[in-house]
Amino acid sequence: MTFDEVLDKLESGELRSANKNEKGQWEADIRVKHSILEAFKAGASVAFNGFVDKDTLMPREFTVDDGVRLVPGGSSVRRGAYVAKGVIIMPPAYINVGAYVDEGSMVDSHALVGSCAQIGKHVHLSAGVQIGGVLEPIGMAPVVLEDNVFVGAGSVIVEGIVVRERAVIAPGVTLSRGVSIYDAVNNEILERGADVPTGAVVVSGTRPFNPSNKWANVQGLQLNCPIIIKYRDDKSDASLTLEEALR
């Protein structure tokens, strides 16, 4: 297929830049990512509406029939991104090439859905959330948020982290492969880059900078770290119910 055909199939949802395998793990589709990189390579910079970008990756346009509510005010969805029916995009927000945003999800103001990121059904990305993109290395899987995940304002999720179904990420949490997750419910430290477990409620906490560094201890230095403080229950579900009236 040509890169244009691949981009068309990405927009229709027929292709995805990452898929879940039989073992439940997410894997990048290298062929799709190659095609996206080809589109960048083949594109020429053109001016439009005061902006300049590659002519192969111009912003998408929507109609009422698409079932997407793209609220006026500076948002953009790039060519090759899939946005399902029932998605709401508040201004300003950006959804990059190869991204997948499934039914009923909310992309709030100042939120970024990076290249090839995979967002499930009924996910809420609060204001200022940054979902990192991954085009290179080409074999690296992107950030994935599975169905019914809630991400609080100002959180940052990068480097191919997978957030499993129904997890809750509190405001201001940073998740990356370089930071371990501390599970205070099960009394364990998850390995770096581990998936956020199904239904986990994650808040931003701190840990000692280095227990063996006396100077750091005297100064009271701490590092940020994500902590699982509970797993979702009926009470937390009720507090996170998405209002259908908004749709």
Provide the 8-state DSSP code for 242. Answer: P
- Which tens digits make up the pLDDT trace of 170-184? 999 999 998 999 999
Reduced to 3 states (helix: H, G, I; strand: E, B; else coil), residue 238 is: helix
142 to each of 115, 163, 177, 204, how far by Cα in Å?
Answer: 8, 11, 12, 22
Tell me the chain's radius of gyration from C-alpha atoms. Answer: 19
Q: What's the rounded Cα separation, in Å, for the pair 169 and 153?
A: 9
247 to each of 44, 60, 101, 146, 242, how far by Cα in Å?
Answer: 38, 21, 15, 20, 9
Pairing, β 181-183 against β 188-190: antiparallel
The predicted structure's pLDDT at residue 14 = 98
Average pLDDT on 130-146 reads 92
The predicted structure's pLDDT at residue 118 = 98
- Which tens digits make up the pLDDT trace of 74-120? 999 999 999 999 999 999 999 999 999 999 999 999 999 999 999 99
More confident residue, 103 or 213: 103
- pLDDT at residue 241 tops 80: no
Average pLDDT on 9-29 reads 96
The pTM is what? Answer: 0.93
For residue 158, count other CB atoms closer than 10 A to its CB. 19
Provide the 8-state DSSP code for 209. Answer: S
The predicted structure's pLDDT at residue 242 = 60
The predicted structure's pLDDT at residue 212 = 87
Pairing, β 162-163 against β 18-20: unpaired
Average pLDDT on 127-153 reads 94
Q: What's the rounded Cα separation, in Å, for the pair 181 and 207?
A: 11
- Domain extents for the chain? 59-237
Average pLDDT on 16-42 reads 95
Average pLDDT on 148-171 reads 97
Tell me whether residue 91 is exposed, middle or buried, using C-beta atoms within 10 angstroms of its C-beta: 0 to 12, 13 to 18, 19 or more.
Answer: middle
CATH superfamily assigned to domain 59-237: Hexapeptide repeat proteins (2.160.10.10)
pLDDT-derived band of residue 139, with 50, 70 and 90 as boundaries? Answer: confident
- pLDDT at residue 53 tops 80: yes
